[in-house]
Amino acid sequence: MKKKKKRSIFYPVYFLLIAVFLIALHIGLRYVRVILADYETAQPQYEAERVFQTYYADGSFDRLVNAAASVPLTPYEDKDAVAAYLRTYTAGKDISYSSISTGLDDVRKYIVKADDVKFSAFTIRPGEKKTEKGFALYELDTIELYCAGRESVRITVPKGDSVYVNGRLLGDEALTGERTEHESCAHMSPGVEGIVFVTYAADGLYLPPASVEVREPAGAEVPLTQDADGTYSAPIVYSESLRAEYSEYVVAAAQALAAYMQNDAGFYRAAAYIDPNSELYENTRLTETYFVIDHSSYEFQDVETSEFYAYDPDTFSCRVTMIHVLHRIGSADYRDYIDTTFYLRRVGEKYLMYDRLNH
């Protein structure tokens, strides 16, 4: 009998090992590709692009301004004004971003430019969310804005008026320190302040103000004028209630004084309206009334009162204009044009004149 040859298992094992290796290599490569793909999704450039598309690319900047860590604002504007400013600033410009990070730390910083002028920056960092394989995904960290408002508005008003820019009240911090005294300041009693004009400034606005309003102490809105430099000015608001209450009284006082000065009435008549402790009283009492124009009678024409102004509860002024007509026999009438501001203060139960200003 012939002996059977034993078949070698080397090659089957060899090829089996090769097959196992190839299968393992294929599986390993697939796993590596999955890992690499997963790793790739966690790279910072993808989050950077998402941030740019979300906050910058559409050019509206509303989301950008609301997401910024801090926005330099005055009390007279809100973030909408900054977004509007950025839309104007970047209009027609190429908006781009680039990384300025070294890659040595986890935080990546990018600057954003409009035609190569930096106006913003943002940072991203690995967040709590992870990929399927455990790589941390980047997320937005901070947004910075590099902009400042350059618009300003100045408003000059009588002290005591309230000033509003874009509907918001300007406080004492907006006062510039400029101060202009009205002529009334030279005629005040001690402790009483005349009309003083002060100037407010709202600086650092992003847009020209949509509204500028001034309200006098009683709350009524005051019409404004604007000069060539853009400064707003509010006029003095005179009191119609004072005019209604004291107009006849002041006219009587002015006419009594005018009659005395033309030697048509005794001093007592004018003195009834003058504070005896005033310089006006002494000056009037010592005035020579003998050298006046001869006349047979007189009358007052075109009498008007205006510019009633209360400086405090006990002091006010008003302006009286009239023509004091002196009738002369055989000659033309003499017409004395009177235009005087009288200053009155409370003495006891009534107001008396203590000073005057001839215009």
Predicted local confidence at residue 213, as pLDDT: 97
* 246 close to 308: Cβ distance less than 8 angstroms: yes
357 sits in which H/E element: strand 350-358
Query: In this predicted structure, which of 93-107, 146-160, 231-245 has the lowest mean pLDDT?
Result: 93-107
Section 219-227 average pLDDT: 95
pLDDT of 295-328, one tens digit each? 889 999 999 999 999 999 999 999 999 999 999 9
Beta bridge partners of 121: 111, 144
Helix (H, G, I), strand (E, B) or coil at 43: coil
Whether the per-residue pLDDT at 266 is higher than 90: the answer is: no
Q: Which two tokens stand for residue 64?
A: 């950008």
pLDDT of 46-95, one tens digit each? 899 999 999 999 999 999 999 998 888 899 999 999 999 999 999 999 99
The Cα 214–Cα 164 span in angstroms is: 6
Whether the per-residue pLDDT at 172 is higher than 60: the answer is: yes
**Nearby residues of 288 by Cβ (< 8 Å), 6 or more positions away:** none
Q: Which of 148, 139, 42, 53 is nearest to 96 (CA)?
A: 53
- Put simply, whether the predicted model's pTM sits higher than 0.85 gets the answer no
* 333 close to 325: Cβ distance less than 8 angstroms: yes
* 80 close to 87: Cβ distance less than 8 angstroms: no
* 89 close to 103: Cβ distance less than 8 angstroms: no
Beta bridge partners of 151: 205
Whether the per-residue pLDDT at 151 is higher than 90: the answer is: yes
Query: Residue holding tokens 């005040």?
Result: 188
Whether the per-residue pLDDT at 29 is higher than 70: the answer is: no
The Cα 340–Cα 356 span in angstroms is: 7
* 220 close to 142: Cβ distance less than 8 angstroms: no
Q: Which of 186, 66, 343, 147 is nearest to 352 (CA)?
A: 343
The string of DSSP letters for 301-322 reads EEEEEEEEEEEETTEEEEEEEE
Mean of all residue pLDDT scores within the chain = 89
Q: Which two tokens stand for residue 231?
A: 């400064």
Helix (H, G, I), strand (E, B) or coil at 263: coil
Angle value at C-alpha 11, between 10 and 14, nearest 5 degrees: 85
The Cα 300–Cα 324 span in angstroms is: 5
Whether the per-residue pLDDT at 140 is higher than 80: the answer is: yes
Angle value at C-alpha 160, between 157 and 164, nearest 5 degrees: 60
Task: Name the region of 145 (left: φ>0; alpha: ψ -120 to 50; beta: rest).
Answer: beta
Whether the per-residue pLDDT at 35 is higher than 70: the answer is: no
Predicted local confidence at residue 31, as pLDDT: 60
Predicted local confidence at residue 50, as pLDDT: 93
* 272 close to 347: Cβ distance less than 8 angstroms: no
Whether the per-residue pLDDT at 244 is higher than 80: the answer is: yes
Enumerate domains of the chain plus CATH numbers. Answer: 42-145 (3.10.450), 151-233 (no CATH), 240-358 (3.10.450)
Beta bridge partners of 179: 198
Query: In this predicted structure, which of 14-18, 87-91, 198-202, 242-246 has the lowest mean pLDDT?
Result: 14-18
19 sits in which H/E element: helix 10-41
Section 123-144 average pLDDT: 85
C-beta atoms surrounding 294 within 10 Å: 10
Q: Which two tokens stand for residue 8?
A: 């070698």
Which band of pLDDT confidence, cut at 50, 70 and 90, is reported for residue 202?
A: very high
The Cα 276–Cα 347 span in angstroms is: 10
68, amino acid identity: A
Section 93-107 average pLDDT: 85
